[in-house]
Structure 1
Amino acid sequence: MILNNLNIGEVIYHRVHQRLLDRKLIAPTYGTAVFSLAGDGLDVFRDRVVAALGADAKSVTMRIESHGEGSALAIARQIAAAGSEDEFAHHARARR
Protein backbone atom coordinates (compact mmCIF):
# COMPACT_ATOMS: atom_id res chain seq x y z
CA MET A 1 0.00 0.00 0.00
CA ILE A 2 1.47 3.33 -1.00
CA LEU A 3 0.63 6.18 1.34
CA ASN A 4 0.66 9.38 -0.69
CA ASN A 5 -0.36 12.58 1.06
CA LEU A 6 -1.19 10.87 4.34
CA ASN A 7 -2.99 13.33 6.60
CA ILE A 8 -3.58 12.66 10.28
CA GLY A 9 -5.72 15.19 12.05
CA GLU A 10 -6.54 13.47 15.32
CA VAL A 11 -5.01 10.73 17.43
CA ILE A 12 -5.85 8.61 20.44
CA TYR A 13 -3.00 7.47 22.65
CA HIS A 14 -2.90 3.80 23.62
CA ARG A 15 -0.15 2.41 25.81
CA VAL A 16 1.38 -0.95 25.00
CA HIS A 17 3.14 -2.27 28.09
CA GLN A 18 6.42 -4.15 28.17
CA ARG A 19 6.10 -7.85 28.93
CA LEU A 20 6.69 -9.06 32.47
CA LEU A 21 9.93 -10.84 33.37
CA ASP A 22 8.22 -14.21 32.83
CA ARG A 23 7.24 -12.98 29.31
CA LYS A 24 3.53 -12.77 30.16
CA LEU A 25 1.63 -10.09 28.31
CA ILE A 26 0.08 -7.11 30.02
CA ALA A 27 -3.13 -5.87 28.44
CA PRO A 28 -2.77 -2.48 26.75
CA THR A 29 -4.21 0.65 28.31
CA TYR A 30 -6.64 2.23 25.88
CA GLY A 31 -6.93 5.98 25.66
CA THR A 32 -10.37 7.52 25.38
CA ALA A 33 -9.55 11.16 24.63
CA VAL A 34 -9.08 12.40 21.08
CA PHE A 35 -6.23 14.86 20.53
CA SER A 36 -5.52 17.18 17.62
CA LEU A 37 -1.82 17.47 16.93
CA ALA A 38 -0.25 20.83 16.18
CA GLY A 39 3.15 22.47 16.37
CA ASP A 40 5.93 20.49 18.02
CA GLY A 41 3.67 17.48 18.72
CA LEU A 42 2.77 17.18 15.04
CA ASP A 43 6.43 17.56 14.03
CA VAL A 44 7.56 14.78 16.39
CA PHE A 45 4.74 12.49 15.24
CA ARG A 46 5.56 13.15 11.58
CA ASP A 47 9.24 12.39 12.17
CA ARG A 48 8.38 9.09 13.89
CA VAL A 49 6.00 8.00 11.12
CA VAL A 50 8.54 8.85 8.41
CA ALA A 51 11.26 6.97 10.32
CA ALA A 52 8.98 3.93 10.76
CA LEU A 53 7.61 3.85 7.21
CA GLY A 54 10.28 5.63 5.18
CA ALA A 55 12.60 4.09 2.62
CA ASP A 56 15.41 3.68 5.19
CA ALA A 57 13.17 1.95 7.73
CA LYS A 58 13.93 -1.63 8.62
CA SER A 59 10.28 -2.57 8.48
CA VAL A 60 8.72 -5.66 6.99
CA THR A 61 6.86 -5.60 3.71
CA MET A 62 3.21 -6.42 4.25
CA ARG A 63 0.56 -7.64 1.86
CA ILE A 64 -3.06 -7.16 2.87
CA GLU A 65 -5.03 -10.21 1.82
CA SER A 66 -8.13 -9.80 3.94
CA HIS A 67 -10.13 -6.64 3.48
CA GLY A 68 -13.58 -7.77 4.57
CA GLU A 69 -15.46 -7.12 7.79
CA GLY A 70 -13.17 -7.18 10.83
CA SER A 71 -9.95 -6.81 8.82
CA ALA A 72 -7.35 -4.16 9.64
CA LEU A 73 -8.29 -2.31 6.46
CA ALA A 74 -12.00 -2.32 7.35
CA ILE A 75 -11.22 -1.08 10.86
CA ALA A 76 -9.03 1.71 9.45
CA ARG A 77 -11.91 2.73 7.19
CA GLN A 78 -14.28 2.82 10.18
CA ILE A 79 -11.83 4.99 12.12
CA ALA A 80 -11.42 7.38 9.19
CA ALA A 81 -15.20 7.65 8.70
CA ALA A 82 -16.04 8.13 12.39
CA GLY A 83 -18.54 10.92 12.86
CA SER A 84 -17.80 11.66 16.51
CA GLU A 85 -14.96 11.43 19.01
CA ASP A 86 -16.75 8.58 20.81
CA GLU A 87 -17.12 6.62 17.57
CA PHE A 88 -13.47 7.34 16.70
CA ALA A 89 -12.34 6.07 20.12
CA HIS A 90 -14.55 2.98 19.85
CA HIS A 91 -13.15 1.93 16.47
CA ALA A 92 -9.55 2.71 17.52
CA ARG A 93 -9.57 -0.03 20.17
CA ALA A 94 -7.81 -3.26 19.25
CA ARG A 95 -9.96 -6.32 18.54
CA ARG A 96 -9.21 -10.02 18.60
Structure 2
Amino acid sequence: MAKTAAISMRVEPELKSEAESVFGSLGLSLTEAINVFLHMSVIEGGLPFEVKQPRYNVETERAIDEARNIMAGRINAPAYESASELFSAIDE
Protein backbone atom coordinates (compact mmCIF):
# COMPACT_ATOMS: atom_id res chain seq x y z
CA MET A 1 0.00 0.00 0.00
CA ALA A 2 1.26 3.50 -0.85
CA LYS A 3 2.32 5.77 1.94
CA THR A 4 -0.02 8.69 2.58
CA ALA A 5 0.16 11.95 4.47
CA ALA A 6 -2.73 13.34 6.46
CA ILE A 7 -4.18 16.78 5.84
CA SER A 8 -6.40 18.29 8.50
CA MET A 9 -8.62 21.21 7.57
CA ARG A 10 -11.69 22.95 8.88
CA VAL A 11 -14.69 23.82 6.72
CA GLU A 12 -18.23 24.85 7.44
CA PRO A 13 -20.42 21.76 8.03
CA GLU A 14 -22.94 22.82 5.36
CA LEU A 15 -20.17 23.28 2.76
CA LYS A 16 -18.74 19.85 3.59
CA SER A 17 -22.14 18.23 3.26
CA GLU A 18 -22.88 19.95 -0.06
CA ALA A 19 -19.43 19.03 -1.42
CA GLU A 20 -19.87 15.40 -0.35
CA SER A 21 -23.20 15.34 -2.18
CA VAL A 22 -21.72 16.79 -5.37
CA PHE A 23 -18.69 14.50 -5.37
CA GLY A 24 -20.81 11.50 -4.34
CA SER A 25 -22.95 12.02 -7.45
CA LEU A 26 -19.71 11.71 -9.43
CA GLY A 27 -18.75 8.52 -7.60
CA LEU A 28 -16.02 10.21 -5.57
CA SER A 29 -15.46 10.53 -1.86
CA LEU A 30 -14.40 13.88 -0.47
CA THR A 31 -10.86 12.51 0.00
CA GLU A 32 -10.73 11.33 -3.61
CA ALA A 33 -12.00 14.69 -4.87
CA ILE A 34 -9.36 16.55 -2.85
CA ASN A 35 -6.69 14.23 -4.29
CA VAL A 36 -7.93 14.98 -7.82
CA PHE A 37 -7.75 18.71 -7.02
CA LEU A 38 -4.18 18.38 -5.70
CA HIS A 39 -3.03 16.29 -8.68
CA MET A 40 -4.54 18.76 -11.15
CA SER A 41 -2.95 21.68 -9.30
CA VAL A 42 0.46 20.03 -9.69
CA ILE A 43 -0.16 19.28 -13.39
CA GLU A 44 -1.39 22.84 -14.07
CA GLY A 45 1.28 24.48 -11.94
CA GLY A 46 -1.39 26.37 -10.00
CA LEU A 47 -5.11 26.32 -9.41
CA PRO A 48 -6.78 24.03 -11.96
CA PHE A 49 -9.52 26.57 -12.68
CA GLU A 50 -9.92 30.26 -13.37
CA VAL A 51 -10.36 32.40 -10.27
CA LYS A 52 -13.04 35.06 -10.78
CA GLN A 53 -14.93 37.64 -8.79
CA PRO A 54 -17.82 36.18 -6.82
CA ARG A 55 -21.22 36.20 -8.48
CA TYR A 56 -23.67 38.86 -7.47
CA ASN A 57 -27.17 38.12 -6.25
CA VAL A 58 -30.02 38.31 -8.76
CA GLU A 59 -31.08 41.83 -7.78
CA THR A 60 -27.55 43.19 -8.17
CA GLU A 61 -27.08 41.37 -11.52
CA ARG A 62 -30.29 43.00 -12.79
CA ALA A 63 -29.14 46.44 -11.63
CA ILE A 64 -25.79 45.97 -13.39
CA ASP A 65 -27.56 44.90 -16.60
CA GLU A 66 -29.90 47.90 -16.35
CA ALA A 67 -26.96 50.28 -15.88
CA ARG A 68 -25.18 48.78 -18.90
CA ASN A 69 -28.34 49.15 -21.00
CA ILE A 70 -28.72 52.77 -19.91
CA MET A 71 -25.09 53.51 -20.81
CA ALA A 72 -25.55 51.81 -24.20
CA GLY A 73 -28.66 53.90 -24.91
CA ARG A 74 -31.01 50.92 -24.99
CA ILE A 75 -32.98 52.30 -22.02
CA ASN A 76 -33.96 55.95 -21.69
CA ALA A 77 -33.32 57.17 -18.16
CA PRO A 78 -34.00 60.63 -16.80
CA ALA A 79 -31.04 62.92 -16.23
CA TYR A 80 -30.77 65.47 -13.42
CA GLU A 81 -28.72 68.65 -13.15
CA SER A 82 -28.13 68.25 -9.43
CA ALA A 83 -28.65 65.93 -6.49
CA SER A 84 -31.38 68.21 -5.14
CA GLU A 85 -33.24 67.91 -8.46
CA LEU A 86 -32.97 64.12 -8.21
CA PHE A 87 -34.24 64.09 -4.64
CA SER A 88 -37.15 66.34 -5.62
CA ALA A 89 -38.10 63.89 -8.36
CA ILE A 90 -37.93 61.01 -5.88
CA ASP A 91 -40.16 62.85 -3.43
CA GLU A 92 -42.84 63.43 -6.08
TM-score above 0.5, yes or no = no
The structure carrying a bigger strand percent of its residues is 1
Q: Larger Cα Rg: Structure 1 or Structure 2?
A: 2
What TM-score comes out, normalization by structure 1 length? 0.25
